[in-house]
Amino acid sequence: MSPRTSENFKEIRDIRKQQLKDTAIELFGMKGYAATKISEITGKAELIHGLFYHYFKTKEELYVSVIIELLETIIDTINKAKDESESPLKQLVWLTGVTHSGSLKEGVYRHILILQALYSDLLPQQVKQEIVEKYHLMVDLIAKIIEEGQQVGEFIEGDPEELAIYHLSLVHGLLLTNARKTEPIKLSVDKVLRQLKPYTQQGDS
């Protein structure tokens, strides 16, 4: 096999694997892990059923793969916020905007999928522990931004981890509420972050 042919083959393989992952996120998010069949995933992805096993051994392997990948993407995005500005407030402004960018439906599916995995009894304990640890790391990284913001007066006083959880709850709640509305509201980053800002900074961007 020539290098060119090998490269093309890998590209096709990567595209098909991503098709399965994207479809799985939608179906797992919409129907849940247990109710989703492999045949539904391959059918919606418009791939031959047997091709599934060229990429994943089981449905569980696919499920775990997309969960871990979603969490790692979020963690990478939080770390990237550090490069956007030296100001912790502006880092959180950027991060909040990115969180609500893209397809609302896809954002909801990703959020639901992560919550399902955190409370699932269907996964092996070792896998479940890895997912929980990555989720906690996500919270810790946001708490670190808030803590640094407190030190320079950009955020209110309080336990950084608790404030990070409040912030995530509001962001996720808006995502889910918007998904149920016929005409979703336009996200106001300033209003989302108002709960974290000292009174003297209210309304500042």
Asked whether residue 80 falls in the same domain as residue 172, the answer is: yes
pLDDT in tens, 58-78: 999 999 999 999 999 999 999
Res 4 pLDDT > 50: yes
Asked whether residue 49 falls in the same domain as residue 101, the answer is: no
Give pTM, 2 decimals.
0.84
pLDDT of residue 75: 93
Asked whether residue 73 falls in the same domain as residue 125, the answer is: yes
End-to-end CA, the chain? 56
Asked whether residue 192 falls in the same domain as residue 148, the answer is: yes
Asked whether residue 41 falls in the same domain as residue 115, the answer is: no
pLDDT of residue 130: 92
Res 184 pLDDT > 60: yes
- Asked which of 10, 40, 56 is the last residue of a domain, the reply is 56
Please give the mean pLDDT across all residues of the chain: 88
Residues 6+ apart with CB under 8 A from 167: 92, 142, 146, 192, 193, 195, 196
Q: Which domain holds residue 83?
A: 58-201
Res 91 pLDDT > 50: yes
Asked whether residue 38 falls in the same domain as residue 74, the answer is: no
CATH number of the domain bearing residue 2: 1.10.10.60
Mean pLDDT of the 69-94 span:
93
State how many domains the chain has.
2
Asked whether residue 41 falls in the same domain as residue 69, the answer is: no
CATH number of the domain bearing residue 192: 1.10.357.10
Buried b (16+ CB within 10 A) or exposed e, 121-137: eebeeebbebbeebbee
pLDDT of residue 104: 67
Asked whether residue 68 falls in the same domain as residue 149, the answer is: yes
Mean pLDDT of the 12-17 span:
88
Residues 6+ apart with CB under 8 A from 104: 175, 178, 179, 184
Asked whether residue 9 falls in the same domain as residue 82, the answer is: no
pLDDT in tens, 93-131: 999 888 877 666 778 888 888 888 888 888 888 999 999
- Name the token pair of 158: 């309080």
Sign of CA dihedral 39, 43, 45, 47: positive
pLDDT of residue 205: 47
Q: What letter does residue 202 receive in the DSSP assignment?
A: T
Half-sphere exposure of 89 (CA within 13 A, CB side): 19
For a pLDDT cut of 90, what percent of the chain falls above it? 56
Q: What letter does residue 183 receive in the DSSP assignment?
A: S
- Asked which of 12, 29, 56 is the last residue of a domain, the reply is 56
Asked whether residue 64 falls in the same domain as residue 163, the answer is: yes
Banded pLDDT at 183 (limits 50, 70, 90): confident
SS3 188: coil
Asked whether residue 66 falls in the same domain as residue 156, the answer is: yes
DSSP 122-166: SS-HHHHHHHHHHHHHHHHHHHHHHHHHHHTTSS-SS-HHHHHHH
Asked whether residue 15 falls in the same domain as residue 103, the answer is: no
